[in-house]
Structure 1
Amino acid sequence: MILRRWLVLLALVLAPLAGAGTALGHQQKITISTIAHNPRTGMIEIIHQVPVHDAEHALVVQRTGNADIHTPDIIGSEDSREAFARYVTRRFLFQLNGAIITPDYVGSEIVGGSLFVYQETPAPAEGALRLRVNSQILTDVWARQENRVNLGNGTSVDTLIFHGGDAPAEGDLPR
């Protein structure tokens, strides 16, 4: 429930950006991932936002040699959307308190001009939430790709920025 409310707020804040990119018809070459702790569920929730136009162009590029991708239609083809969501989860590396974590895939959906991919993992019951992340989503497609990772939500957010080949970065996730 809190994830959906947070998603709606995020979508409202970012809607002008998504609409502008779609209207112009070119790649934005930017993704935004948000990592937040949900104290009610005890989970760390990860939301990746990728412009649909960028995702579809990436599918065309990646289609050669990838049997998972049948057609580059994120909106009309659930298979394409799920194939791209799997790609997103593979290109996002995540460590929690020094341990490599593979967050569970929760699902994906289209909101406005963006594809949202959801993941989650249990948070330790106590102690710090020290994260080490690296977002390389679409950096294998475009050299100028920029990926922003927001740690936290509300007024307590730190942003990490990644480009192709960047090393992982660390930050604390507020509880």
Structure 2
Amino acid sequence: MPKGLFVLFTAISAVVASLLATNTAFAHQQKAAETTVLFNKRSGHLEIMHRFYLHDTEHAVQDLFNDKHADILDSEKTQQQFADYVSQQFYAKTLTDQTITLNTVGFEVDGKFFWVYQDAPLPKTEKGLKLYNGALRDLWPTQINMVNVEGQGPVKTLYFQDNKDWLAVYF
């Protein structure tokens, strides 16, 4: 084999191996979720959008619901169960500890994500909120739930990980 062809073949092989390794890495669980809490003054609602990696939810539902046939992709029952679970793992309070009652609005599979939506009338909070996000942290201690709070000045971000339960955000 000519030296130039060998070098080209080696370079192409390295690129292909790199791409295969990248795809394998993306197939693993992320154990991370993102939530947006939006103060929507136009609608008069506090809108909460939870985004989970679909791959994580596929693993989680079988353990959470003790059902080897749980199917987040094709079973509306499993999707509803997971949405209910998420709703029972996310709480909001005012800084004076008044509970903000959240309603589950819906859920959907969108690409590689599973979304759960909640809302509540805008709280009459003047300076901040207390939030709790335990979704999947009971199943995986390494789970990290990031929460972005928007619509009250600059975006504020909270990270629920390790032993962090209730966190406060100030405006």
Q: The TM-score by the shorter chain falls in which range?
A: 0.7 to 0.9
Q: After alignment, is 153-162 or 31-40 more displaced?
A: 153-162
For 2:54, the equivalent position in structure 1 comes to 52
Tell me the CA shift for residue 23 of structure 1: 7.3
Q: CA RMSD in A?
A: 2.4
For 2:31, the equivalent position in structure 1 comes to 29
Q: Which portions of structure 1, spanning 4 or more consecutive aligned residues, are displaced by more than 6 angstroms?
A: 20-23
Q: Secondary structure at the match of 2:84?
A: helix
Unaligned runs of 5+ in 1: 1-19
| TM-score for both structures, normalised by structure 2 | 0.78
Distance 2:98 2:33 in 1: 25
Distance change in 2, residues 1:63/1:133 (3 Å): same
Distance 1:25 1:142 in 2: 17
Q: Secondary structure at the match of 1:151?
A: strand
Tell me the CA shift for residue 22 of structure 1: 9.0
Distance 1:158 1:110 in 2: 26
Q: Secondary structure at the match of 1:58?
A: helix
Larger Rg: 2
For 2:100, the equivalent position in structure 1 comes to 101
Distance change in 2, residues 1:103/1:70 (3 Å): farther
- Identity in percent: 34
Distance change in 2, residues 1:127/1:90 (3 Å): closer
- Do residues 116 (structure 1) and 115 (structure 2) align? yes
For 1:83, the equivalent position in structure 2 comes to 81
Distance change in 2, residues 1:21/1:80 (3 Å): farther
Distance change in 2, residues 1:37/1:153 (3 Å): closer
Partner AA of 1:90 in structure 2 = Q
For 1:137, the equivalent position in structure 2 comes to 135
Unaligned runs of 5+ in 2: 1-21
| TM-score for both structures, normalised by structure 1 | 0.76
Contact kept, 8 Å, 1:22 with 1:113, in 2: the verdict is: no
Tell me the CA shift for residue 164 of structure 1: 4.3
